[in-house]
Structure 1
Amino acid sequence: MIQIVEHTAAESPCAIGAALAATGHPVRVCRVWAGERVPDTVDGMVALVVLDGPPSVRARAAQLALLRAALEAEVPMLGIGTGARLLALAADGGAGNRSHVPHDEDDVRVLHIGPSAWGLRFTPVPHADGVYGRFAALVADRAERTTTRAFFTRRAAGWDERFTHNGPRYAAAARRMELRSGQRVLDVGCGTGRVPPALRDQVGPGGVVAGIDLTAAMLTAAARQGRGGQGHLLLADACRLPVGAGAVDGVFSAGLLNHLPDPRRALGEWARVTAPDGVLLLFHPSGHAERAARHGRPLAPDDPLTEDNLLPALRATGWHPACYEDAPHHFLLRAVRRAD
């Protein structure tokens, strides 16, 4: 969902609204001038746009809080006029070390804050469509990643407390990789880093362990728990790993594959970075079929974790399935990288 904040009826979304609607994502307008409340969180947002116009004192505080949350989660943002000034204030208020780099683009004053936030100092008339089009393209390109970051960023600090009881089960699953001393292993979608200690136990001090996650707040939480000492913590996309071909001996991933927009692409990328005879282990602390039943829904025919879908996808991407378990209390898949 694309959220637009409108301060006055005279400053409607118009051209930027049309450019964003063309991305195919639903557009929601919050009319603060009519008394509508600004959202409390960025959950579900793929973009945030704040238009020009005078906000009330109450609306201003709520918008600053929302903008800071969006900056932390790297939600693409565009502020116009008043929106740009609020964006700059939000960044100055502790949303992180982000530089403000103003420069002129086709006579439109643009303020860049971090990797995905733009501010237009004045409501532009000429040349604005180029800026709007580029922003819409950014939103469309990052939509899936943005949704993930928006969901996990505000939950990262309390994630371990919610799922402390699952720690031993993750460790037991990691041991089923049967890694050897000195080997190299990735935990893709590592979250707060519960699994790297168990992987370190297997590969020993001479091995290499790296936890990879898309959400910076999750890696920050892992570092605060002292888990950075168990291995490297890397910010990266699961489908674009910053690792060379055949560089690792194993990939562990828990609760991630079925949430990715293209699971087969992820399996192919994980195969690319894994050496021949390396191991892939997919895990979840509750059974896949059992989770669906618990939520009162049948397994969808195209669900990527069903045996009929997952095993052919593994074979097509260079893996040999060795074990498939969809038990009442866990889901586990173990596969071995085929030699090309």
Structure 2
Amino acid sequence: MIQIVEHTPQEGPYAIGTALEAAGLPLRVCRTWAGDPVPDTTDGLVALVVMGGPMAAYADFPSRTAELALLRAALDAEVPVLGVCLGAQLLAVAAGGTARPGAGAQIGWGDVRTAADAPADPLFADAPGRLRVLHWHHDTMDLPAEAILLASCDRYPVQAFRIGRSAWGTQFHLEVDEPAVEAFAGAFPEEAATAPGLLESAPTELAAVARHRDDIFKRFAAFVTARSEQTATRAFFTRRAATWEDRFTDDGPRYAAAVGRMGLRPGQRVLDLGCGTGRALPALRAHVGDDGVVSGVDLTPAMLRAALREGRDADGKLLLADACRLPLRTGAVDAVFSAGLINHVPDPAAALREWARVTTADGVLLLFHPSGRAERAARHGRPLDPDDLTAEENLAPALRAAGWHLEVYEDARHHFLARATRARTLV
């Protein structure tokens, strides 16, 4: 789901919404102008779009606090963000920058220059050196140090920027079409009057920028689509990372017992996939010793930060990576431990093949969960699913097809465990 936040009925997503819908992405609109509450979590979101409005990002308005909290949560979970005008200013504030009054109103059609970093940007890569766009603002912003400037103009230097790997802001209104320009002028007639020829020149101006506008928003839609599964996972676990250890304080001995079933030897190289807060790392280190190599991989930065707070980096290297596309050479490790991850990956068959690729012949894979299948189903108020991959009749052939041989399968009340060995040759 893509969350769109609107501040006025006139300032909707327009071309942004068109591009997202064309990509088959479902939209949910929060109309703050109609009293809709701003969501208090990024759970279920694959992107967040915050539109413009006449209020100031540096002054209090009813939804400001909630919007800043949502933006901060999105930045923390690397949920793709697109902020427009007021939305861009709020994004800058959420990231640690500031918003402030500008040097007078900037309203009407005008040029912006793309910056030196624009050609390497996922959205602005093919934008021309100059874009003629619609300006409609009085305020500006000072970006946090880590932000990347993507477009500028002499009067207002911050016109487009990126924060991190997945959040963009545009001070100008690239999203507009003819109905949008008419809506803006109708809602703010005194401001429109300061830009002679605004409506009359709109068809010509929009025709000139349409290709670049559509390309940038198509790129955003493609970016969101390509990352949607990862985004959903990050959003889910980011909010829970701070309390993860407190919620599962009794699981440590179960993890240690499971690691003991792997048959690890001193000096071996072992990978914990979906390591979370790293609770298996001490046991893995104990079995491979000081000469062994222990690495924990997780997709969620907040989980790895929690692992650092717990001191788990003393037992293994922590790596931010996608467990389905590991940055490791073939046969890099002797064993793989994975607790619960197989139920969260978008393509389990591909994941099992990737895990086989990085494991040596006769290497070990241990799939584990500190709860059995029936216990987990009951906790979520649902019956056992016959199509669940971790059911033995489903898991054995899935492992075999990926290059693993299932040797041990246990679905007990208080744990699930499957031990497999990697075939000497992969199909």
| 1:24 CA displacement | 2.9
Cα gap change, 1:157/1:169 in structure 2, threshold over 3 Å: closer, same or farther?
same
Counterpart check, 1:264 vs 2:349 = yes
Q: TM-score, normalised by structure 1?
A: 0.95
Rounded Cα–Cα distance in structure 1 between residues aligned with 2:241 and 2:351? 23
SS at match of 1:101: strand
Residue 96 of structure 2 is aligned with which of 89, 92, 96? 92
Rounded Cα–Cα distance in structure 2 between residues aligned with 1:103 and 1:136? 20
Q: What's the C-alpha RMSD, in Å, of the aligned pairs?
A: 2.0
Rounded Cα–Cα distance in structure 1 between residues aligned with 2:367 and 2:145? 36
Quick one: which amino acid aligns to residue 151 of structure 1?
A: F
Quick one: which amino acid aligns to residue 6 of structure 1?
A: E
| 8 Å contact kept, 2:274–2:339 | yes
Counterpart check, 1:79 vs 2:127 = no
Range that drifts further, 188-197 or 305-314: 305-314
Q: Which residue of 1 aligns with 2:292?
A: 207
SS at match of 1:58: coil
Residue 68 of structure 2 is aligned with which of 49, 64, 69? 64
Range that drifts further, 60-69 or 232-241: 60-69
Q: Which residue of 2 aligns with 1:279?
A: 364
Per-residue CA distance 1:118-154 (angstroms, 9 max, x = gap):
1111112423211111101011000011011111112
| 8 Å contact kept, 1:2–1:26 | yes
Range that drifts further, 194-203 or 325-334: 325-334
Structure 1 gap segments, 5+ residues each = none
Q: Which has the larger radius of gyration?
A: 2
Rounded Cα–Cα distance in structure 1 between residues aligned with 2:70 and 2:222? 22
Q: TM-score, normalised by structure 2?
A: 0.76
Q: Which residue of 1 aligns with 2:418?
A: 333
Rounded Cα–Cα distance in structure 1 between residues aligned with 2:303 and 2:342? 18
Counterpart check, 1:112 vs 2:162 = yes
Rounded Cα–Cα distance in structure 2 between residues aligned with 1:141 and 1:9? 30
| 1:93 CA displacement | 5.4
Aligned pairs (5 A) from 1:1-340: 1-55=1-55, 57-92=61-96, 98-103=146-151, 109-124=159-174, 125=176, 126=209, 127-340=212-425
SS at match of 1:140: helix
| 8 Å contact kept, 2:329–2:358 | yes
Quick one: which amino acid aligns to residue 103 of structure 1?
A: A
| 1:294 CA displacement | 4.4
Rounded Cα–Cα distance in structure 2 between residues aligned with 1:261 and 1:97? 35
Range that drifts further, 90-99 or 282-291: 90-99
Q: What is the percent sequence identity of the aligned residues?
A: 65
Rounded Cα–Cα distance in structure 2 between residues aligned with 1:330 and 1:96? 46
Rounded Cα–Cα distance in structure 2 between residues aligned with 1:294 and 1:213? 25
| 8 Å contact kept, 1:91–1:98 | no
Quick one: which amino acid aligns to residue 76 of structure 1?
A: P
| 1:97 CA displacement | 6.8
Cα gap change, 1:328/1:97 in structure 2, threshold over 3 Å: closer, same or farther?
farther
